[in-house]
Amino acid sequence: MNFNRFKQWSLKGDVFGGVTTAIISLPLALAFGVASGAGAEAGLWGAILVGLFAALFGGSSTLISEPTGPMTVIMTAILTAMVVRYPETGVAMGFTVVMMAGAFQVLLGTLKLGKYVTLMPYSVISGFMSGIGVILILLQISPLMGHPAPAGGVIGTLQAFPETLSNLSFKELFLGVLTLVILFYFPKKYRRYIPAQLVALVSVTLLSLMIFDLDSIRRIGEIPTGLPSIVMPTFTPEMLTTMVIDALVLGTLGCIDTLLTAVIADSLTREEHNSDKELRGQGIANMISGLFGALPGAGATMGTVVNVQVGARSPLAGIVRALILAAVVLVAGFLTEPIPMAVLAGIALYVGINILDWSFLQRAHKVSLHQTAIMYGVMALTVFVDLIVAVGLGVFISNIVVIERLSREQAKQVKAISDADDDDVPLSEEERVLLDSSDGKVLFFYLSGPMIFSVSKAISRQHARIGEYRVMILDLSDVPLIDMTVGLALENAIKDAREANCTVFLLCPHQQTTEQLERLHVGDWISDPHVFESRYDALHAAKRLTEVMP
């Protein structure tokens, strides 16, 4: 554990940050625990364990970690699938997936891959985050109307909607809608002092006790006091592959969620987090959380922003927050018993609405039709198919689009001229005179910028008529990078020139590019007297050679 993150600590700011974020976390932890199907206590202990150990071992000074909306959506799907398949051991298998996801995060951090996790197009991130928001909203429809969430996830919820609507509980719908009204219309000037979620939770719960009988609506009920029981890792051979895939999805989502939030925290504190250390800390926290049957978590944007705004500057705030929540569970758990389930459904639905990337949804079609299509495609796949399929296809298609656009631009940097009329090739006046005096027998083949596989076809097109020339000057003086595909394309160009009795001169003054050509053995086709370091020398040698050739 690195104590350098505690150097900037402020006792007053950190304690106040811990108290404030604990107040914010309480209703969310309860809502996410119930929404996941694991129970309110799983949400509370997830907030405690993930928050505590991520603060102790993470790489950000002010990040608040807890169960989040996206993580809850994935965990809900995992638990539902496991319990349906294995009623007796499904829950244990679900939390084993959490431990595996944590181990995956530790592995990513140990391999120092943290900086690569968020290297994906924003349209893909926006699409799957908005898709998760849609899932969270849809899954709260039945609880909001007074029924348990039906099996089958989104599809099951939509199929059961007519029956849910015909048998809705007006009491619970009233409480859920009232919760949403408070969350949406609670005055902004008071939100800095007290979170709207806590106001809705307390006020609507008190109202339900005054106007409804205790047993006439669904409530949380008793939350077990004391420490949670250990969940032993449980596997079955036929489900191992599924569990590994689920763990990769859950772990990757947690990494993305955490590191994006850490970037926001950096912008507020003017500090820089350690991505790899943060992933290791999050992984340790999720492994411990899964071991005790608690929900997985990640960096929480709202809690982190509030934590920084109230003056927290070190992980002490996260530790204080975890201790306060632990005291609530161990000592004051009876206070949560009368909370209506519809209230928690309203809070979770509100979170789902806020997860939707409204800013990008409103302007995506004005920015790029390609990116808009990718964003909506990823969203639809996330909701109706699978998150890993959505992200995989989204990243693949986005990269194809980018490569296609990049190849068009790079193809413009592949030029082949035999006279000096083309102003795009950077030749001096003396060099242009030399090229013109060669009577069209010299092909000046000029490449510039990074050369990746997408420009190999442009290279092939430009040297297609190589038989018409006596000398080809291959100018790579402005090329900082060559990949294998381009190297092979250049090799083919040199081979074609030699077969056509065309002498090849190579102009490659950069050491890095020369080393790349040597690794690809492209230079083996060109003898040392035909390698130059300046355009003038190459053109002068080409002119002399054409004068003695028939």
Burial class of residue 148 (count of CB atoms within 10 Å of its CB; 0-12, 13-18, 19+): exposed
CA-nearest of 436, 514, 465 to 425 is 436
Strand order in the sheet with 414-417: 414-417, 442-448, 471-478, 503-507, 531-532
Q: What is the band of 63 on the pLDDT scale with cuts at 50, 70, 90?
A: very high
Grouping H, G, I as helix, E, B as strand and the rest as coil, residue 526 is coil
The pLDDT of residue 320 is 93
Of residues 70 and 12, more confidence is placed in 70
In the chain, what is the straight-line distance between the N-terminal and C-terminal CA atoms, in Å? 77
Q: For all residues of the chain together, what is the average pLDDT?
A: 84
Q: What is the pLDDT of residues 292-346, one digit of tens each?
A: 999 999 998 888 888 888 788 888 999 999 999 998 888 877 778 888 989 988 9
Pairing state between β 442-448 and 414-417: antiparallel
- Is the CB of residue 407 less than 8 Å from the CB of residue 455? yes
Distance CA 343, CA 219 (A): 9
The pLDDT of residue 293 is 94
**Is pLDDT of 12 > 90?**
no
CA-nearest of 6, 16, 12, 4 to 321 is 16
Grouping H, G, I as helix, E, B as strand and the rest as coil, residue 65 is strand
**255: its two tokens:** 């990494």
- Rounded to the nearest 5 degrees, what angle is found at the Cα of 259, between the Cα atoms of 253 and 128? 35
CA-nearest of 24, 125, 128 to 73 is 128
The mean pLDDT value for 379-389 works out to 83
The pLDDT of residue 97 is 96
CA-nearest of 17, 16, 43, 4 to 328 is 43
Distance of CA 21 to the CA centre of its chain: 24
Distance CA 328, CA 40 (A): 13
Q: What is the pLDDT of residues 206-228, one digit of tens each?
A: 999 999 887 888 888 877 777 88
**422: its two tokens:** 């083309």
Taking residue 354's Cβ as centre, other Cβ atoms within 10 Å add up to 14
State the amino acid at position 242 in one-letter form: T
Instruction: Catalogue the long-range contacts made by 268-271 (C-beta closer than 8 Å, 24 or more residues apart).
Output: 268/62, 268/305, 268/308, 268/309, 269/61, 269/62, 269/308, 269/313, 271/61
- Is the CB of residue 318 less than 8 Å from the CB of residue 261? no
Distance CA 438, CA 226 (A): 91
Distance CA 332, CA 410 (A): 65
**373: its two tokens:** 């299509």
The pLDDT of residue 99 is 97
- Is the CB of residue 542 less than 8 Å from the CB of residue 442? yes
Distance of CA 162 to the CA centre of its chain: 36
- Is the CB of residue 488 less than 8 Å from the CB of residue 457? no
Q: What is the pLDDT of residues 435-474, one digit of tens each?
A: 888 778 888 888 887 777 767 777 777 666 777 888 888 8
Q: Which residues are paired to 213 by β-bridges?
A: none
- For a pLDDT cut of 90, what percent of the chain falls above it? 24
The pLDDT of residue 302 is 82
The mean pLDDT value for 537-546 works out to 83
**386: its two tokens:** 């699978």
Distance CA 294, CA 39 (A): 9
The pLDDT of residue 197 is 86
Phi-psi region of 262 (alpha: psi -120 to 50; beta: other; left: phi over 0): alpha
Q: What is the pLDDT of residues 98-115, one digit of tens each?
A: 999 999 999 999 999 887
Three-state secondary structure readout of 352-379: HHHHCCHHHHHHHHHHCHHHHHHHHHHH
CA-nearest of 362, 129, 420 to 261 is 129
CA-nearest of 550, 94, 61, 102 to 298 is 102
The pLDDT of residue 511 is 72
Grouping H, G, I as helix, E, B as strand and the rest as coil, residue 23 is helix
- Is the CB of residue 37 less than 8 Å from the CB of residue 77? no
Distance CA 333, CA 220 (A): 11
State the amino acid at position 482 in one-letter form: I
- Rounded to the nearest 5 degrees, what angle is found at the Cα of 232, between the Cα atoms of 230 and 233? 135
The pLDDT of residue 43 is 93
Distance CA 32, CA 40 (A): 7
Domain 413-548, CATH homologous superfamily name and number: STAS domain (3.30.750.24)
Of residues 311 and 29, more confidence is placed in 29
Q: Which residues are paired to 299 by β-bridges?
A: 65
Q: Which residues are paired to 472 by β-bridges?
A: 443, 504
Q: What is the band of 421 on the pLDDT scale with cuts at 50, 70, 90?
A: low
Q: What is the band of 520 on the pLDDT scale with cuts at 50, 70, 90?
A: low
Q: What is the band of 7 on the pLDDT scale with cuts at 50, 70, 90?
A: low
CA-atom Rg of the chain in angstroms:
31
Taking residue 419's Cβ as centre, other Cβ atoms within 10 Å add up to 13
**Is pLDDT of 366 > 80?**
no
Residue extents of the structural domains in the chain: 3-357, 413-548
**Is pLDDT of 521 > 70?**
no
